[in-house]
Structure 1
Amino acid sequence: MIVLTKEEMQTVFTMEEAIQADKEALRLFSQGKSTVPLRTNIDVPEHGGQSLYMPAYVAGDNQALGVKIVSIYPGNIAKNLPSVPATMVLLNAETGIAEAMMDGTYLTQLRTGAVQGAATDVLARKDAKIAALIGTGGQAISQLEAMLTVRSLDEVRIVDIDKERCEQFVKEMSEQFAHFNTQLIVVDNSEAAVKGADIITSVTTSKRATFSGEHVKKGAHINGVGAYTPEMHELPSEIIVRADKVIFDTMEGVLAEAGDIITPLNEGLVERSQYQGDLGEVMLGKILGRENEEEITVFKTVGTAVLDVVTARKILAKAKKLGVGTQIAL
């Protein structure tokens, strides 16, 4: 079995490759070539923790089988340990033997940034020049990189409830992503970030909207990435009503988990028919994506294990090819 660290994964696999992997994963999902059982949650009350198991299998020429194990232990912070540790285990689909273990935390960040990049590439205007990023938490780096990868942007306006954290983030990212030649700007509020923006990405766990729908211009593309429970609501209902196209990573996942999509439906602000379908269906030509430069498009993701296993399989293939990773005998 090969063990891959975050640093090794970064060495062998780029954001551009991750975006292509996520596109393939969602196409396969929409073609019915994947099996994704509901995740299993196990409470560990003695230690105030939870352990979640997210398995998936993808059939076809590029078979992928595996499970991502994500634990939530808030008390770990006091022990100077990660509060949400994650590990990805890949199995050989032909034999069922475990053949790789890799950093699941980084994999989640990578594939989540990449799925937003895939949606932005498919749905945003080709001439997009201004982007907004709301939230500078753990997912923000990959979200920023994905937008920079798929569009040649002049500026990205960045805002966070913690101004100091936002300023530090912009300073570090301006150095890390200097090769994109995009100006990264700290702004004081979401209105300053969103007004006139061609692409808006919100990556927070907020229980209320992180920006106002009235500030969104025609032709904008919006990504809702952070909110993943019925209580979370980072996208304003107004923009869901205004949107010409509302597209998901998976319809079943979003309608079961995403409050910012469930609420407008339950309140009768939109009809179920206004939710077009999945990004994989857009890429397969089964449903329409952006049809003109004036349309407002919305993409909502809550994640799916298909993204994990397909991306992990491709990372493993590159690592083997380049001789990267530590081999251990089981």
Structure 2
Amino acid sequence: MLILTKQDIKKVFTIKDAIDADKDALRIYSDGKSVVPLRVNIDIPKEEGQSLFMPAYVEELDATGIKIVSVFPKNIEIGKPSVPAQMILLDGKTGEVIAIMDGTYLTQLRTGAVQGAATDILARKDSKIGVLFGTGGQAGTQLEAMVCVRNLEEVRVIDINNDRAKEFANNMQQQLAEYNTKIIAVENGNEAIKDADIITSVTTSRRPVFDGTLVKKGSHVNGVGAYTPQMQELDEVIVKNADKIYFDTKDGVLAEAGDFIIPMEKGVVSEQNFSGELGQVILGEVKGRENDQEITLFKTVGTAVLDVVTAHRIYKKAIENNVGKHVEI
């Protein structure tokens, strides 16, 4: 069995690798060539916590796996992460556990990469200005994915805490220096998006973080953060006005994302307004962007297929490069 830490993964796996893995994962999912049972949530009332078990099987890779994510808010009091996670990867031919890896970083990587995949497929090729709402744990890979797939001159960062936005922008300017993109913190999100080509929101907000009427023609919008029926970071106006709307998984978004559940309940939009899954675009079953005036919108809530495919790619690269710690059980 191979044990892989965050640093081990970073040694062998780039955001570009993750974007390629996510494109394959979405293609496999939309092609019906994966098995994704409903995740199991176990409440732990004694500790005010919850543990989630997210399994999937991908026949094409002879791989199966399960990500275990826990939410234990009181962990902060004892100096431990409040959302610990691990990914367990199994050999699909033998059922043996072949790897355990850092699930927190894996989640950040594959979530940033799925936005990167959507941006690569749907955003205008000449995009120059990006906007990022939110500076939490997912934000770093979201930003890197954006600048990886488009040669952006500037990315504007917005957070409810402007000091936090400034600190994040300064740190990322150093970390992503190779991309030659100016990364700046701004206070007014609505001003920031007026001439933006790519807008990515990765917040847990229960109200829209920007005015949808201000999104210019030809822009591409990514909704990444809201993952419950109560969260709504995307303005209903942009959901209504977008020319084309794509999901990572239609079933997941319509069951979990308030960004779409709320406006659908109000009758603002219906399923007829949705173009399909990004995997269907990759398969050639659904058209992507067709001109430079279309506003495209992508929404993701995540799927365990992303975890399994990405984890499998990481495992293969770690073996090739002799990275990680082997243990016998």
Is this a same-fold pair by TM over 0.5? Answer: yes
Find out whether 1:180 has 2:179 as its counterpart: yes
Find out whether 1:97 has 2:91 as its counterpart: no
Aligned to 1:170: 169
Aligned to 1:27: 27
CA distance in 1, matches of 2:62, 2:110: 18
Matched residue of 1:170: which SS? Answer: helix
What does 1:170-319 correspond to in 2, within 5 Å? 170-319=169-318
CA distance in 2, matches of 1:145, 1:224: 16
Matched residue of 1:126: which SS? Answer: coil
Kept in 2: contact 1:133–1:193 (CA 8 A): no
Aligned to 2:6: 6
CA distance in 2, matches of 1:189, 1:258: 25
CA distance in 2, matches of 1:82, 1:194: 34
CA distance in 1, matches of 2:250, 2:271: 11
Structure 1: which amino acid aligns with 2:30?
S
Q: CA deviation at 1:192?
A: 2.2
Q: CA RMSD in A?
A: 0.6
Structure 1: which 5+ runs fail to align?
A: none
Aligned to 2:44: 44
* 1:104-157: CA deviation from partner (whole Å, max 9, x where unpaired): 000000000000000000000010000000000110000000000000000001
Structure 2: which amino acid aligns with 1:309?
V
CA distance in 1, matches of 2:123, 2:138: 21
Matched residue of 1:121: which SS? Answer: helix
Structure 1: which amino acid aligns with 2:105?
Y
Structure 2: which amino acid aligns with 1:99?
I
Matched residue of 2:157: which SS? Answer: strand
Aligned to 1:58: 58
More moved, 187-196 vs 71-80? 187-196
Structure 2: which amino acid aligns with 1:104?
G
Structure 2: which amino acid aligns with 1:59?
E
CA distance in 2, matches of 1:151, 1:185: 17
CA distance in 1, matches of 2:256, 2:196: 27
Matched residue of 1:114: which SS? Answer: helix
Aligned to 2:142: 143
CA distance in 1, matches of 2:192, 2:35: 39
Structure 2: which amino acid aligns with 1:12?
V
Structure 1: which amino acid aligns with 2:42?
I
Aligned to 1:88: 87
CA distance in 2, matches of 1:22, 1:282: 13
* 1:195-217: CA deviation from partner (whole Å, max 9, x where unpaired): 10000000000000000011100
Aligned to 1:16: 16
Structure 2: which amino acid aligns with 1:135?
G
CA distance in 1, matches of 2:158, 2:191: 9
Q: CA deviation at 1:304?
A: 0.2
Over 3 Å off, 4+ runs: none
- The alignment covers a number of residue pairs equal to 329
* 1:36-91: CA deviation from partner (whole Å, max 9, x where unpaired): 0000001111111111000000112x222000000000000111100000000001
Structure-1-length-normalised TM-score: 0.99
Matched residue of 2:125: which SS? Answer: coil
Structure 2: which amino acid aligns with 1:15?
I
CA distance in 1, matches of 2:23, 2:54: 20
CA distance in 2, matches of 1:324, 1:189: 44
Q: CA deviation at 1:292?
A: 0.5
Q: CA deviation at 1:263?
A: 1.3
CA distance in 2, matches of 1:324, 1:193: 42
CA distance in 2, matches of 1:13, 1:267: 43
CA distance in 2, matches of 1:94, 1:53: 22
CA distance in 1, matches of 2:46, 2:212: 44
Aligned to 2:110: 111
Matched residue of 1:158: which SS? Answer: strand
Matched residue of 1:133: which SS? Answer: strand
Structure 1: which amino acid aligns with 2:146?
M
CA distance in 1, matches of 2:291, 2:62: 37
Structure 2: which 5+ runs fail to align?
A: none
Find out whether 1:156 has 2:132 as its counterpart: no
